[in-house]
Structure 1
Amino acid sequence: MAGSMLAGLPAAYAAEAASGPTVEELVVTAQKREENVQDIPLAVTAFSTKKIEQLHIGNVTDAFNMLPSVSFQSSTPGFYNVYMRGVASGGDGNHSGSLPSVGVYLDEAPVTTIGGALDIHFYDIARVEALAGPQGTLYGASSQAGTVRIITQEPKLGVSESKYDLEVNGVAHGGIGYKAEGLVNIPAADNVAVRLVAWGEHRAGYIDNVKGTRSYPTSGVTINNNALADDDYNDVDVYGARAALKIDLNETWTIKPSINYQDMKTNGYFGYDKTLGELKVKHFKPESSHDRWYHAALAVEGKIANFDLVYAGAYMNRKIDTQSDYTDYSFFYDTLFGSGAYVTDNLGNPVDPTQYILGKDKFTKESHEIRLTSQADQPLRLTAGLFYQKQTHDILQNYRIDKIGSDVAVTGWPGTLWLTDQYREDRDSAAFGEVSWDATSKLTLTAGIRAFKAESELRGFYGFSKGYSSRTGEAACFKPTVVGRGPCTNLDKSVEETGETYKVNATYHINDDKMVYATYSTGFRPGGVNRRATLPPYKSDFIKNWELGWKTLWADRSLKFNGDVYYETWDDFQFSVLGANSFTEIRNANQARIYGAEVDVVWQPVQGLSISGAAAYTNAELTENYCNALDAKGNPITSCASPEAPKGTELPVTPKLKANSVVRYEFPWWDFDAHVQGALTYTGSAYADLRLKERSILGKQSDYTTFDLSTGIAKDNWTAELSIRNVFDEIGDTYRSAQCTPGVCGGITYIVPVQPRTIAISFGQKF
């Protein structure tokens, strides 16, 4: 009787009905070996290919939004500062700032840069893994507070397959977007396969640059933006490709070279001026970015005796050209301080002080890792390896006022009021190891250590001409040009540090479906050189993490309930602020403590119905005053009459609560496989800055909730779907900033919203 009832169902439904619904099993490599995510004593959230497609995750923003332990700041696509578990101090980190506190990996290689995480297009991605908490034992490369790994699909031997996906969408208050993606997997021989992936996307704009004028009090000049005013002017175009090769040399050795390339062009600005109303700005100079990068990687996998050996090497090259409006800076400095009187032509007459920025940043990143891993079925398991990384950053920031005189302009740079032309190099090397021992059939003990050496150097030129400043810029040079085309050198410093990070863990397996664990781990972020040469280098900062967690399956594995609670201390944290002339300064602040909880639930109560939810609660605050002062040894001073942020101040950026829930129902409908899905995300309120004065100027980012809805059908080799993202058109408040120091430019605060309601129709086929 049961067999006849199942006979009319599609194969997928019949199989599930016969065995009973169970949650998806997912294999990850978070601990540098393949393991079921339920067997790992680690706070890891992972999305499979299926989940990525179901949630319409098309880029890093989409992924970060669905990861409760992850927060991020972004003013423009392609520029992302990523944070985990509240380890964020806010402030300003432009150009040569602190190293990131969260490592972002593409396959086996780190791709984090000072400019932020790469805006990787998500197509043919095998999975995303978010590892919360310090990961410094097995991962270096800025994994102080956590690690996010993006794993691409590798070529499949002996399989010929291809697919394409098309989408057209309309954005409320904006324009029309579209996307085309495709892949092909080619078995070139029995032991060789090639996988080729390509994509192209146009993201519609929704911010309007409205017409207006601006008058400068010193010169009396009035400007307008008639030539640039336009609706929906913040559009984005992205195209890219990935090629991967897999060669099985024999039964034990495989080589896997790959290359990724992406080109992204953005126009306009992605925030709005709250004084003008939602989704509107009034800017007077062209704004755009052109971000292109390639990432070449090689993985070699094999066996030596009973050990698996992996070599992973990669080289990344990233170039970013930017144009930025800087009119707020010109206007407020002139209005408050009369700076326009110093912006003159060759006759000494004030000129139009309108300022804009032309930027050219070039990043390179080279990494090598070799590691040995023992067999997973042994009672004593070992992972050990060596790591080396070198990353460089060529910085060119040209702050221009078109009609200034030659004595005001930087030598050799007509029309340039301020020039930054610098070269930064960061190197780190490490030896690491982790040992796990099954003390009993239920208890496993793990210990790990990573010993490292970190070096950073920064040299070049920054500042004004001698004709503009008698003490800084060219006036402070001490030797000829050593970097780029700067007029001379007024910065040449380096720092070097060594140290260790640790991890110990105890895991108790209650049974095959349930375990609990306790972990102590440490995180470290190297110090560096301040771009303002008169300031001392900033020191490293440290995190200590205590964590209790659980991984459980219930009700015949139809219900998954994972979670953890943690307590962290963050010592001497690096804090970036805008100092004189809105120039970035990095100082070690003081101490903070962070505690919180994270949960992840998946329930499949009946055939075809899946209910999932995840949430993170984070409580982060200062445990000492922030006085914005250092003693003679460079240590933060915490005793002062009027601290800029007193003890107990909530850390910025990370909301206290971030959560999401997804309900999906799959069912047979006529001759089709059909589905309907709803996804709800909530992001709590947060401040953009640590300091109380700056908070009062910028205001608090309000909490927001978005809801996505989708439905679709599939038959044979094709699928079609209708989706509505941000159904209720929530203008979410994701980031707040000013063009310069908030105390000067905060009269105009910019708010970066979530993308307005977007209705999309998509179609795809597999062959």
Structure 2
Amino acid sequence: MRHHLHGTAWTALALATIGSAIPLASARAQAHLPEQSRPQEEGAAPPDEIVVTARKRNERLQDAPLSVNAVSAAELRQGNARDFKDVLRKVPGVSFSGAELGQSRYSIRGVSTTSPSPTVGIYLDDISLLGATNAFSGAADPVFFDFGRVEILKGPQGTLYGGSAMGGAIKYVSRAPEPGNTTLDTAAGISSTAHGGISYQGEAVLNLPLSDKLVLRTGALYRDNAGFIDNVANGAAVDVRTSTTAPPAALTPLVRPSLSMLADRNQNSDHVLAVKAALLWQPDPSLDITPALFRQAYRQKNSGVFWTNLPDLQSSFRLAQPTDDDLGVYSLNMVKHLGEVDITSLTAYVDRSVRFDRDYSFYIATLVPALYDVNSPNASNSSTRTFSQELRAASANPAARLRWTAGLYYARQRDELDQTVNSIGVGALLGTGTDKVYHGNTVSKLTQFAAFADLTFEILPGLDATAALRYFNLRQTIDTRGDGVLNGGDTHGAASTRESGVNPKFGLAYRASRDNLIYASAAKGFRPGGGNPFAVAPGQCQADLANLGLSAVPVSFRSDSLWTYEVGSKNQFLGRRLTLNGAAFYTDWKNIQQNVFLPGCGFSFSGNVGGAEIKGAELAAQFATGGLTLGAAASYTDAKISRSAPGVSAKVGQPVLDTPKWIANANMAYRVALGGGVSATARADYQYRSSSLRGFEDSFIVNTPAGPVAANNFTRRQRAYDLVNLGLLIDTGAWQVDLFVNNLLDKAPLLDHNVVSGIEAAITLRPRTIGMSVRRQF
């Protein structure tokens, strides 16, 4: 996708640190609800009760012969978690970029990329939320609202979940309507953020049986998050890509007044409204029919970017920079129970629209210095519409010698990105009659069909063999048009690609006892290629292309694929009070898709950087005795470029981008009974993330009075950082009061640090936040 003319077009950055891979609360197995979770008990539950649907059939977490983490509803609510990124630090080997809702790019076990096509599948109740991500929208991020759990599947999941799940998959599982039980769940919360203001939220969910065959579950959530970035009028704008001195003298960044007239305190505030409704109809005991909808409207007043040369998390932009992100998921899920076989039909439609306004004044000035005094607003609109149909059958008896899942899948997606940049007053200056200096429109369409099967057979008592296969056939078309002086005039480009193939997976698992499992697997992951979605005039980027050994922007980029080999073990000891899970893996990744930025003309394209080898291991432990629970987890990932290719900047031996070698977490919880059915649970969590590479280029070009020179790219590496959170939960049975302090030490690491937009800018974690939430069920 297009990263050109995008002042915040930064490569993905691994933000996350991790916690225990062993959930503290269960998602209990419920017959005939393989993809939605019935309401579960609050608090902790033994790990042997945790049930997941990673293989699209119910099985105990400790029985699943793959690396999968399950985060329970109780954990999702701890510390006022707002979306998946707030709990992601508790999952080994998983990272993401982007601190704002809907701007994330997720990666698992070093399968990280800056290209438009994601490497991690995102699902809501088995419905894919993936779209063609671009510089103005990342992965869809549902807020945590009435979820039973979130499952994180590691390693290639292509056999059951398709392309772009080559690194893994994230599954949000909703709480389903519950027959025979009328409940009203309510919650409210308030918090205060250092350097910012007051945040608050409220939610309510009603479960209402309308008859003995019909149950409605519906609710709404509203959340208002205070900002913590201040925009100051006429602050100092430092352009490190322009120097007032030339070698042999030291480079001196150009400093100018920003010419901003905006003064706005806590400008990056946001709010989100989410609504859901699901209707469970059971015309007979063997048939469940569930139409459902989920809608989310997110509004951010201004970007969370701050300028690193200004004090106290400040920026000095000239123009307002709001973001509007609307997500709608509509589905009809039908499950027919035929003895030991469940047949599922899932029809879905996903609608997402993102409007992204940004101040390009300083970025345009890096391309045309004479336009520094000119205000240049950018308006980008992206929309994705996806229809999908899945029909599958699965064995319903987890004790059967043969357990299996098989099905067919069809999807049709249309994605459009429209971007306009105006430089106010340029039309009169140039005599063109228009202030529009760039306009681009890209429409991409994807149609795919797949057939899949996953079979597990018990060869000998305790020894299982798994074989899985997915055949896919897909076709993509892309049509792009551009005009404006920065585009070199009117242009038009089109490309069409068609691919088909097979994704296999094989595995062996041996259960020495109910509490000890050893497994090994080999799986292939795949991600489709496509066309480069911009049409720049010939000659517009020739200098940048020549530096890469190219004469023109590649018309298309190839698919990439990988094989991952894994061995792991899941164990429980001491009467299941101690849980110890571990895994080691090796990945051979070929033809990696990566974004290649052309700084001289402001455009970018997707290319294949060659290949990479990834070696790693994970270990997670949890010990519970009495009211004390101790947890620790760590992941090590050594991901390096093993093969390079012409036209890209990656070099053999460089780390894969956005992949910290070490991610670690330690946590503690202590529960004490206070009498009268009241209990208190204190918790503490420590998270650590080592440094990682954010860009392959070790230098960037600086314009000086004597001509351009190369300067050290000091933003190419993300530094290590750590985080501490504290909490206290008071539970009376009917009421739960959660007191929390997030980011206790008020850490503010420079995330997404860049100099692309003509200023040195970054984002950071939400500062120290102290708050309270209250829950009550009627």
CA distance, structure 2, for counterparts of residue 278 and residue 540 of structure 1: 44
1:500 to 492, 499, 502: 502
Greater CA drift, 224-233 or 22-31: 224-233
Which of 645, 658, 661 aligns to 1:656? It is 661
1:88 paired with 2:123, answer no
Q: Bigger relative contact order, structure 1 or 2, given CA contacts below 8 A and separation 6+?
A: 2
Q: Specify which of 435, 439, 458 is matched with residue 478 of structure 2.
A: 458
Give secondary structure in 2 for the equivalent of 1:63.
helix
Deviates more, 1:305-314 or 1:501-510: 305-314
| Equivalent pair of 2:207/2:217 in contact (CA under 8 Å) | yes
Residue 76 (structure 1) shift: 3.2
Residues 371 and 383, structure 1, Cα contact 8 Å, conserved in 2: yes
Which residue in the other structure is 2:382 paired with?
Answer: 361
In the alignment, residue 766 of structure 2 is paired with which amino acid?
Q
**Alignment counterpart, residue 49 of structure 2, candidates 22, 25, 34:** 25
Partner SS state of residue 557, structure 1: coil
Q: CA 1:368/1:666 → structure 2, altered by over 3 Å: closer, same or farther? A: same
**2:458 paired with 1:473:** no
1:686-765 pair list within 5 angstroms: 686-693=692-699, 696-740=713-757, 745=758, 748-765=759-776
- How far residue 718 of structure 1 moved from its aligned partner, in angstroms, is 1.2
Q: Distance in 1 between matches of 2:640 and 2:507?
A: 27
The amino acid across from 1:363 in the alignment is T
In structure 2, the partner of 1:522 is 524
Matches of 1:663 and 1:237 in 2, distance apart?
A: 32
Rate the CA distance shift 1:545–1:186 in 2: closer, same or farther, 3 A: same
By how many angstroms is 1:172 displaced? 0.4
Find the counterpart in structure 1 of residue 443 from structure 2.
Answer: 423
Q: Alignment RMSD, CA only?
A: 2.4
In the aligned structure 2, how far is the partner of 1:356 from the partner of 1:585? 23
Q: Name the CA distance, whole Å, in 1 between partners of 2:733 and 2:229.
A: 41
Deviation at 1:362, TM superposition (A): 1.2
Asked if residue 260 in structure 1 is aligned to residue 260 in structure 2, the reply is no
Name the structure 1 match of 2:28.
Answer: none
Say which of 367, 372, 397 aligns to 2:419: 397
- Equivalent position amino acid for 1:192 in 2: L
Q: CA deviation at 1:667?
A: 1.2
Equivalent position amino acid for 1:518 in 2: A
Contact 2:682 2:727 in 1 (8 A): yes
Which residue number in structure 2 is paired with residue 680 of structure 1?
686
Contact 1:23–1:602 at 8 Å: present in 2 too? no
CA apart distance, 1:688: 1.6
Whether the aligned pair in 2 keeps the contact of 1:167 and 1:178 (CA below 8 Å) is: yes
The 8 Å contact of residues 271 and 298 in structure 2, kept in 1 or not, is answered as yes
Q: Specify every segment of 5 or more residues in structure 1 that has no aligned partner in the other structure, as ranges.
A: 1-19, 341-350, 477-489, 630-643
Indicate whether 1:41 and 2:46 are aligned.
Answer: no
Does 2:181 align with 1:170?
no
Residue 222 of structure 2: aligned partner: 200
Aligned to 1:110: 128
Q: CA deviation at 1:692?
A: 2.6
Task: Give the C-alpha shift of residue 277 in structure 1.
Answer: 3.7
After TM superposition, the structure 1 stretch with the greater mean CA deviation from structure 2, 689-698 or 492-501, is: 689-698
CA distance in 1, matches of 2:85, 2:751: 11
Checking the alignment, whether the CA contact within 8 Å between 1:683 and 1:705 is kept in structure 2 is yes
Contact 1:531–1:584, Cα closer than 8 Å, also in 2: no
- Given that residues 21 and 558 in structure 1 are in contact (C-alpha distance below 8 angstroms), is that contact kept between their aligned partners in structure 2? no
**Size of the alignment, in residue pairs?**
686
Are the structure 2 counterparts of residues 766 and 410 from structure 1 closer, same or farther at C-alpha, using a change threshold of 3 Å? Answer: farther
| Displacement after TM superposition at 1:386 (Å) | 0.6
5+ long unaligned stretches in structure 2: 1-43, 243-255, 536-552, 701-711
How far, CA to CA, are the matches of 1:58 and 1:383 in structure 2?
34
Q: Which residue of 2 aligns with 1:135?
A: 157
Map 1:638-657; keep pairs closer than 5 Å.
644-657=649-662
Q: Which amino acid is 1:659 matched to?
A: A
Does the CA contact (< 8 Å) of 1:408 and 1:417 recur in 2?
Answer: no
**Aligned equivalent of 1:100:** 118
Q: CA deviation at 1:623?
A: 0.8
SS at match of 1:308: strand
**1:15 aligned residue:** none
Q: CA deviation at 1:501?
A: 0.8
Question: Equivalents in 2 of 1:528, 1:410: separation in Å?
Answer: 35
Change (3 A) 1:444 1:166: same
Aligned residue type for 1:253: L
Taking the aligned partners of 1:762 and 1:445, their CA distance within structure 2 comes to 47
Structure 2 CA distance for partners of 1:56 and 1:553, relative to 1, 3 Å: farther
Among 606, 611, 616, which residue is 1:596 paired with?
A: 616
Calculate percent identity across the aligned residue pairs.
27
Once the two structures are TM-superposed, the CA of residue 569 in structure 1 deviates from its matched residue by 0.8
1:370 paired with 2:375, answer no
Say whether residues 1:446 and 2:466 are aligned partners. Answer: yes
Gap change, CA 1:368 and 1:407, over 3 Å in 2:
farther
CA-to-aligned-CA distance 1:111-164 (integer Å, 9 cap, x gap): 022232212110221011000110001111521110000101001000011121
Contact 1:255 1:301 in 2 (8 A): yes
**2:410 is matched with which residue?**
388
Alignment correspondent of 1:537: 556
Question: What TM-score does the superposition give when structure 2 sets the normalisation length?
Answer: 0.84
Shift of 1:673: 1.4
Offset, 1:627: 4.3
> What is the CA–CA distance in structure 2 between the aligned matches of 1:510 and 1:760, rounded to whole Å?
46
Task: Report if the CA contact (8 A) 1:272-1:278 is conserved.
Answer: no
Q: Which amino acid aligns with 2:423?
A: I
> 1:689: how far off?
1.5
**Contact 1:111–1:118 (CA under 8 A) maintained in structure 2:** yes
Cα distance change, pair 317–410 in 1 and its aligned pair in 2 (3 A): farther
CA separation of 1:615/1:160 partners in 2, compared to 1, >3 Å: closer, same or farther? same
DSSP 3-state at the match of 2:363: helix
**2:673, 2:65 → 1: CA distance?**
38
Deviations 1:408-449 (A, max 9, x none): 6999xx421100122111222111111211000011001111
Q: How far apart in 1 are the matches of 2:124 and 2:430?
A: 46
Q: Match for 2:532: what amino acid?
A: N
1:311-330 to 2 correspondence within 5 Å?
311-330=345-364
Equivalent pair of 1:705/1:732 in contact (CA under 8 Å) = no
1:61 maps to 2:95: no
Q: Is the 8 A contact 2:259 2:373 kept in 1?
A: no
Distance 1:443 1:254, change over 3 A: same
The 3 A distance-change label for structure 1 pair 570 and 277 is farther
Residue 736 (structure 1) shift: 2.3
CA distance in 2, matches of 1:448, 1:692: 42
Q: TM-score, normalised by structure 1?
A: 0.86
SS in 1 for 2:179: coil
Partner letter of residue 761 of structure 1? M
Are residues 24 and 513 of structure 1, via their aligned partners in 2, closer, same or farther at CA, if it must alter by over 3 Å?
Answer: closer
Aligned partners of 2:270 and 2:298 also within 8 Å: yes
Amino acid at match of 2:471: A
Instruction: Return the offset for 1:253.
Output: 1.0
Q: Is the CA contact (8 Å cut-off) linking 2:262 and 2:316 kept in structure 1?
A: no
Give 1:75 shift: 5.5
| Aligned-residue offset at 1:224 | 5.2
Query: How far 1:601 moved relative to its partner?
Result: 1.7
Query: Is the CA contact (8 Å cut-off) linking 2:191 and 2:770 kept in structure 1?
Result: yes
Q: Would the aligned equivalents of 2:454 and 2:467 in 1 still touch at CA under 8 Å? A: yes
Q: Residue 223 and residue 399 in structure 1: after superposition, are their counterparts in 2 closer, same or farther (change >3 A)?
A: farther
Alpha-carbon distance between aligned partners in 2 of 1:380 and 1:656, rounded to the nearest angstrom: 39
Q: Distance in 2 between matches of 1:151 and 1:749?
A: 40
Q: Which amino acid aligns with 1:28?
A: V
